[in-house]
Structure 1
Amino acid sequence: MTQDHLDTTIFGEPPPQEPSRRRRRQRERRRGGRRLVTLVIAVALVGVATVTAFTVLRPLVSSLVGGGSEAEDFPGPGSGEVVVTVKQSDSGEAIATALRDAGVVKTRSAYLEASAADPELSAKIQPGTYTLKKEMKASEAFGFLANPDNRTVARAVIPEGLWVSEIIPRLSKATTIPVADYEAALKDPEALGLPSAADGKVEGWLFPSAYEFDKDVPAAEQLRQMIAMTIKELEKAGVQPDDYERILTVASIVEGEVNGEGDRAKVAQVIENRLNDPNGPTVGMLQMDSTVHYAVQKRGRAGTTSEQRNSDSPYNTYKVKGLPPGPINNPGAASIEAAANPEEGPWFFFVAVNPDTGETKFATTAAEHQRNVEEFNQWCRENRDRC
């Protein structure tokens, strides 16, 4: 019988032996390793789920916000041609939508990102028509719009003092809209916003300026904008609505008579002095050549002939007292301001002694005026083809 067997027989089963410290550490390391592997696997699964969810949901989110990121941009440079119109009131959002809908950029946000990267350049984009390519890179489309050389716009320049009969052909030429469309629009003055005091006559109400009309703006809307500009200038000059027509009529005569900017308010005062004194040197008549030019619808010569001054037209202020029936042209802002605020003075006469330079002399008496007229006659003798 061995010693082990003897011990077992005498004392029973030996107690379990305590594991060594090294074995305990080994078992703990194995358990820790299993926990780490489990954690790594869990993190990996979460990562896969996140990527999958982003990939699946991203198109939906992009469609909801109206765009995407740089990844949803065309590589460019694009091909073909497509015309896009930027309107006066268009925001960056509106431009982005128009470009996307026209197939120029792939997403709205691709354009908006390019625009936001350069706010100063973005602010330089002007209304007009642009011919771009389809499937352009958004940054390149943005740069194209920001370059004014790429802009096409119908620009109509209307100088001060033109008659309506001269303005309409200019508008038609600039916009390619037929003259007949403008003439048709003029038949409905109320729709154009023409004040009732004008009695349906648009002469005087088409404000002279440089206009840039979008290609889809109809003739009636163009005329409406011009009339609105005239009303704005009347308001700016402090004119009350009841006086609109009268002030415009005076302003149109000032416009037709004056070349020098500094003389407008003085000419306006001459008009008022003659109107306010029916017993004065002109017995209440304006005696303005510009009104006679309008009556006979002829331009190009200084002064008027005896035959023209004998016209029975109500616009012939050599025969008819008071103001003519309405404006004789379409005056600008300076003449409107002068008519609304004349320069106080006693003058009853004036004459442009040199129509080339616009030099104008004013007088209180007929004798003084006659001396000034002689200077004008001398100019006419030297320029016979222009008098």
Structure 2
Amino acid sequence: MAGLMRILLGMAAVAILAAAAGAWWAWQQLEAPGPSGEAVIVDIPPGSSLAGISRRLEGEGVIRHAMLFEWYGRVSGLATQVRAGEYRFPAHDTPREVMARLVSGETVLHSLTVIEGWTYAQMRAAIAAHPAIRHTLDEASDETVMTRLGRPGEHPEGWFLPETYRFPRGTSDLELLRTAHQAMVEALQDAWETRRDALPLESPYEALILASIVEKETGLAEERGRVAGVFIRRLERGMRLQTDPTVAYGVGPGFEGRLRRVHLQTDTPYNTYTRHGLPPTPIALPGKAALAAAVQPVDGPWLYFVATGRPDGSHYFSTTLAEHNRAVQKYLETLRARRQAE
């Protein structure tokens, strides 16, 4: 009997030692650096099981032991807190660090930069070409998009703020448009609240239209306020704006990039050479600086401006038509000289 007890005690001791050794090994493995020597990005689809995630991570070289990782998730209670998404695991992340990332929900963020002066159509094209965006609007008309954004019947041009937007993979095109639209609504309201007294603008929307023209006409950031001032004074005096970008917008998608006399003489709602006042809608997506310039124009005597022809995109501002005509001639001479030098 005593011999049997010694055997049982010995077996128990071996089992305890084995369990302790196993626990020690598991603990060490959870703290051990992962096998990958470089960062790995893994997309975890919604509804994935912890077992499937563990096998995926082992296959991608993020962890060494899928079964141990799954066991750790279940024993720790973290298995139910794992979130789907696209994750970036730095080189040699430990299993504990890997689990912490999956629980944190800190997924990889992609970006799309909407450029100041882009048209709405250019923004739609950039969104459609982005590989991390979930595309739901491929066949949707502009009218459908604005309806789904809660603005039925409104023209989309101008209503999206140029900015860099960051988002997780799988964000829909409609979500991104909604974010950019709300950003513009807020930016326009902020600008309108700071407007100068007695402007010839009757609504925030008219400020948005003017800002879009300023955006397209400005080559240098520091000239935005002066350009806006010229347009404001022309509106106050009942002068036509006579701005080329509105004419080009009115030509439509067929515009080939160079305005000709026939374009300037063809009447459209956007031809500010044939019509007084602002065009019916914005002609581009203005940034915050252009919005600020539209409502806080620079005072001065200038009623005209024309490009200098220099590579910096600067303009020459004139007070009289005679002075403006001389500036136009100088601009043409500069262009000819540049072409001859090429």
Give the TM-score of the pair, scaled to structure 1. 0.61
Instruction: State the Cα deviation string for residues 17-72 of structure 1 (Å, max 9, x = none).
Output: xxxxxxxxxxxxxxxxxxxxxxxxxxxxxxxxxxxxxxxxxxxxxxxxxxxx9699
- Equivalent of 1:130, from 62, 69, 87? 87
**1:308 to partner: Cα distance:** 1.0
Match of 2:155 in 1: 201
CA contact (8 A) 1:292 1:308 kept: yes
The aligned counterpart of 2:116 is 160
Q: Deviations over 1:130-170 (max 9, x none)?
A: 2659x961135658999x9xx85442222111112211111
Taking the aligned partners of 2:99 and 2:76, their CA distance within structure 1 comes to 10
Matches within 5 A, 1:317-332: 317-332=272-287
Identity of aligned residues (%): 30
Displacement of 1:243 after TM fit? 2.1
The alignment partner of 2:308 has SS state of strand
1:345 CA drift (Å): 1.7
Displacement of 1:306: 0.7
Does residue 190 of structure 2 align to residue 236 of structure 1?
yes
Distance 1:78 1:376 in 2: 64
Residue deviations 1:51-100, cap 9 Å, x none? Answer: xxxxxxxxxxxxxxxxxx96995867479995248xxxxxxxxxxxx989
Describe the shift of the 1:175–1:236 C-alpha distance in structure 2 as closer, same or farther (beyond 3 A).
farther
AA paired with 1:218? S
CA distance in 2, matches of 1:237, 1:100: 53
Measured after TM superposition, the shift of residue 294 of structure 1 is: 0.9
Which consecutive residues of structure 1, in runs of 5 or more, have no partner in the other structure? 1-68, 86-97, 113-127, 279-283
Match of 1:225 in 2: 179
Partner Cα separation in structure 1 for residue 207 and residue 165 of structure 2: 24
Letter of the 2:302 partner, please give it.
Answer: W
Partner-residue secondary structure (3-state), 1:211: strand
Following superposition, the deviation at residue 341 of structure 1 comes to 1.0
Instruction: Give yes or no for the alignment of 1:215 onto 2:175.
Output: no
Residue of structure 2 in register with 1:14 after alignment: none
Distance 1:338 1:111, change over 3 A: farther
Larger RCO, structures 1/2 (Cα 8 Å, 6+ apart): 2
Distance 1:289 1:190 in 2: 31
Aligned to 1:189: 146
Quick check: 1:296 aligned with 2:256?
Answer: no
Measured in 2, the distance between the counterparts of 1:355 and 1:237 equals 31
* Conserved 8 A contact 1:309-1:316: yes
Q: Distance in 2 between matches of 1:309 and 1:289?
A: 8
Partner SS, residue 189 of structure 1: helix
Q: Secondary structure at the match of 1:181?
A: coil
Structure 1 pair 313/356, CA: closer, same or farther in 2 (3 Å)? Answer: same
The answer as to whether partners of 1:82 and 1:102 remain within 8 angstroms in 2 is no
Count, aligned residues: 279
- List runs of 5+ in structure 2 lacking aligned partners: 1-25, 58-68, 79-84, 196-200
Q: Secondary structure at the match of 2:148?
A: coil
Larger-Rg structure: 1
8 Å CA contact 2:233–2:303 kept in 1: the answer is yes
Give 2:329's aligned residue: 374
- Rounded to whole Å, the distance in 2 between the matches of 1:81 and 1:357 is 42
In the alignment, the residues of structure 2 paired with residue 365 and residue 201 of structure 1 have an alpha-carbon distance, to the nearest angstrom, of 36
